[in-house]
């Protein structure tokens, strides 16, 4: 098929038929969730049937060499891996852990698992033995697909994992099955298992920002649930030349579902590359070399890019999504000026991702706000009784139950699952405000809220204000015990390279007093070299408090 045919197929899969005014798109939107649905069929096999040679993935190795993977090659390898896994006893519903950085093996493992109706458990390669033991044992995973480097960590814990039958490694290693040799020796699975849209497909553990991570079980339909947001942050999607990349590992919902799988659903090629630690110069080089046009960049990545040297000439970025943490107003202008594209901010959580979005081009962006409900999703700010709050009043952000992007349940935590729902709403555990125009502003996680002198203070607004100061690279705001005020506001600040500390604490306190209000201004400012972060780059305020 020609490029035009290919694009037409991608466009025909869109859930939003006409790009336009946000309200109109929302009013017209109707979900169309088929009863039978399988992620591998949609994201890989159906494209392979159309043109097996078309590039799905470009993998860029650490040394910079690039290797293309076609949809046909991914289909063939995943069909064979499915046969291998079936022969090892994998059945519908079994958990298959994928402990790998971005690359073709991740997609092949995902697709093979979906073809058997199994559940993929994405795991982050930098997890230590304890983190792995917790997730592998909690999920009862039967298979781990990993690389040789991770074997020592697994060997340490393997005796405590009675459900773990086989470990596959992507390079030949003693004590593990050989991923590629087994694929080469197997015949393709003759027919994939039929799955319903409602059948479990993926289990992702939350970031663990506020407590022990929870296994969040998702159905095949959650892919469809992500599409309205992906379609709108990439205006007029797909276009000829579109190519996606995210530095966020595919083990997290952001990397996997804000970019990787939805892009393949639309037949748009993606780039994979392993970055041990985010490096702005390397990111710019990759974007330029691979002609990447569509990005999902977590706020931390954007902040590091802003701090670094300007991007090289010749980058041509068409769309940028960001989310997972507060973005703040300061990055919007910078991105437009320096990266050449606006940042579209998203809000969601592992349990129900991509439900709010701030899309330049479809709505008047209010800097500092996360935007409005994405077409197809109903979001509100509710009070303790579950009643929607009037505009401007702070409450808990909630998503209407029954949303296709919503999780099925927490793994083995029926009480936590039940507690998450309140009548028609799923409570996010995040506090926010919705204004009269329907724009949502994030205040804080319920547990991060600061109670000071009778006020409830959300750290985000103060952090975002501090970040507008030219000497501030990153800021976290927490409450510290105070005999008079219950808690006092404290700012923990990382300075930009070359910034001088003298007099800055007072200047920052004054900035917040002037720009927001004296009652939320920090009483203490501490300067640190770095902030404690989760593997996803989220600030762990809990750790700072402790
Ligand atoms: P845990 O639930 O284990 O504490 P976590 O909530 O950090 O971990 P995730 O599901 O990865 O794990 O993160 C979702 C959370 O990230 C949201 O509930 C919200 O607190 C925060 N978040 C996401 N998008 C935004 C945004 N645009 N602005 C501010 N915060 C955001
Ligand atoms: Mg959470």
Cα-based distances in Å from 488 to 285, 474, 512: 44, 20, 14
Confidence of residue 239 (pLDDT cuts 50, 70, 90): very high
Does 349 contact ligand 1 (Cβ within 6 A)?
Answer: yes
CA-proximal residue: ligand 1, atom 3 (nearest): 208
pTM for the full predicted model: 0.92
End-to-end CA distance of the chain: 59
Whether 504 has a pLDDT exceeding 90, the answer reads yes
Q: Tell me which long-range contacts 63-71 makes (C-beta under 8 A, separation of at least 24).
A: 64/289, 66/289, 66/290, 67/104, 69/104, 69/107, 71/44, 71/47, 71/267
Centre of ligand 2 from the C-alpha of residue 445, in Å: 8
Whether 211 has a pLDDT exceeding 80, the answer reads no
Q: What is the pLDDT of residues 23-36, one digit of tens each?
A: 999 999 999 999 99
Does 347 contact ligand 1 (Cβ within 6 A)?
Answer: yes
For residue 539, the model assigns a pLDDT of: 87
Residue 358's beta-bridge partner residues?
A: 345
Q: Which ligand is closest in space to the CA of residue 446? A: 1
Query: With 0-12 CB in 10 A as exposed, 13-18 as middle and 19+ as buried, what is 415?
Result: exposed
Cα dihedral 531, 532, 536, 541 sign: negative
Ligand 2 is a single-atom ion; what residues have CB below 5 A from it?
206, 349
Cα-based distances in Å from 17 to 211, 332, 353, 458, 479: 41, 28, 21, 38, 47
Q: What is the rounded CA–CA span in Å between residue 343 and residue 345? A: 6
Lowest mean pLDDT among 127-136, 247-256, 455-464, 468-477: 455-464
Q: What is the pLDDT of residues 177-202, one digit of tens each?
A: 999 999 999 999 999 999 999 999 99
Centre of ligand 2 from the C-alpha of residue 217, in Å: 14
Q: What is the pLDDT of residues 159-171, one digit of tens each?
A: 999 999 999 999 9
CA torsion, ordered 507, 509, 510, 512, to nearest 10 deg: 120
Lowest mean pLDDT among 252-266, 342-356, 463-477: 463-477
Q: Which ligand is closest in space to the CA of residue 349? A: 1
> 149: which DSSP letter?
G
For residue 36, the model assigns a pLDDT of: 98
Centre of ligand 1 from the C-alpha of residue 348, in Å: 7
Q: What is the rounded CA–CA span in Å between residue 417 and residue 427? A: 11
Nearest to 157 by CA among 126, 136, 172, 171: 136
Here the tokens at position 544 are: 């700072």
Choose between 398 and 235: higher pLDDT: 398
Cα-based distances in Å from 350 to 123, 208, 299, 411: 14, 11, 17, 13
Centre of ligand 1 from the C-alpha of residue 164, in Å: 30
Whether 330 has a pLDDT exceeding 90, the answer reads no
Average pLDDT over residues 401-417: 96
Here the tokens at position 5 are: 């045919």
Q: What is the rounded CA–CA span in Å between residue 443 and residue 455? A: 13
């Amino acid at each position: 098929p020609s490029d035009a045919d290919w694009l037409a197929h991608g466009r025909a899969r869109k859930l939003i038929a006409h790009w336009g005014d946000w309200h109109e798109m929302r009013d017209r939107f109707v979900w169309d969730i088929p009863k039978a649905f399988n992620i591998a069929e949609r994201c890989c096999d159906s494209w392979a049937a159309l043109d097996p040679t078309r590039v799905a993935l470009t993998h860029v190795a650490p040394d910079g060499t690039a290797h293309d993977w076609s949809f046909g090659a991914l289909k063939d390898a995943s069909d064979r891996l499915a046969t291998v896994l079936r022969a090892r006893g994998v059945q519908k519903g079994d958990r298959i852990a994928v402990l790998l950085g971005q690359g073709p093996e991740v997609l092949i493992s995902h697709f093979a698992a979906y073809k058997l109706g199994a559940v993929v458990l994405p795991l982050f390669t930098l997890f230590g033995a304890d983190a792995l033991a917790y997730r592998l044992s909690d999920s009862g995973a039967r298979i781990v697909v990993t690389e040789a480097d991770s074997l020592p960590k697994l060997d340490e814990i393997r005796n405590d994992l009675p459900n773990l039958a086989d470990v596959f490694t992507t390079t030949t290693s003693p004590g593990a099955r050989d991923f590629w040799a087994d694929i080469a020796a197997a015949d393709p699975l003759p027919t994939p298992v039929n799955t319903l849209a409602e059948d479990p497909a993926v289990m992702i553990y939350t970031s663990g920002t506020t407590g022990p991570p929870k296994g969040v079980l998702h159905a095949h339909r959650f892919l469809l649930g992500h599409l309205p947001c992906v379609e709108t942050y990439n205006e007029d999607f797909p276009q000829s030349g579109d190519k996606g990349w995210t530095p966020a590992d595919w083990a997290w919902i952001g990397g996997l579902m804000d970019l990787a799988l939805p892009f393949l659903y639309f037949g748009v090629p993606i780039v994979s590359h392993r970055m041990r630690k985010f490096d702005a110069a390397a990111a710019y080089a990759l974007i330029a070399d691979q002609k990447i046009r569509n990005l999902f960049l977590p706020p931390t990545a954007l902040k590091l890019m802003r701090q670094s040297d300007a991007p090289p000439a010749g980058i041509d970025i068409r769309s940028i999504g960001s989310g997972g943490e507060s973005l703040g107003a300061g990055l919007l202008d910078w991105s437009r000026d320096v990266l050449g594209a606006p940042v579209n901010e998203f809000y969601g959580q592992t349990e129900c991702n991509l439900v709010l979005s701030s899309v330049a081009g479809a709505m008047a962006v209010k800097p500092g706000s996360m935007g409005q409900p994405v077409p197809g999703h109903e979001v509100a700010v509710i009070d303790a009784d579950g009643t929607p709050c009037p505009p401007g009043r702070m409450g808990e952000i909630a998503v209407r139950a029954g949303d296709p992007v919503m999780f099925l349940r927490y793994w083995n935590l029926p009480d936590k699952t039940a507690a998450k729902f309140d009548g028609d709403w799923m409570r996010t555990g995040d506090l926010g405000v919705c204004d009269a125009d329907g724009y949502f502003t994030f205040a804080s996680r319920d547990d991060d809220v600061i109670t000071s002198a009778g006020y409830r203070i959300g750290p985000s607004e103060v952090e975002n204000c501090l970040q507008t100061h030219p000497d501030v690279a990153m800021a976290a705001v927490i409450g510290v015990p105070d005999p008079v005020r219950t808690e006092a506001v404290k700012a923990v600040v990382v300075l930009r390279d070359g910034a001088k500390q003298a007099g800055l604490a007072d200047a920052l306190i004054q900035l917040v007093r002037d720009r927001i209000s004296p009652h939320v201004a920090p009483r203490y400012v501490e300067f640190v070299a770095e902030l404690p972060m989760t593997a996803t780059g989220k600030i762990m305020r809990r750790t700072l408090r402790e």
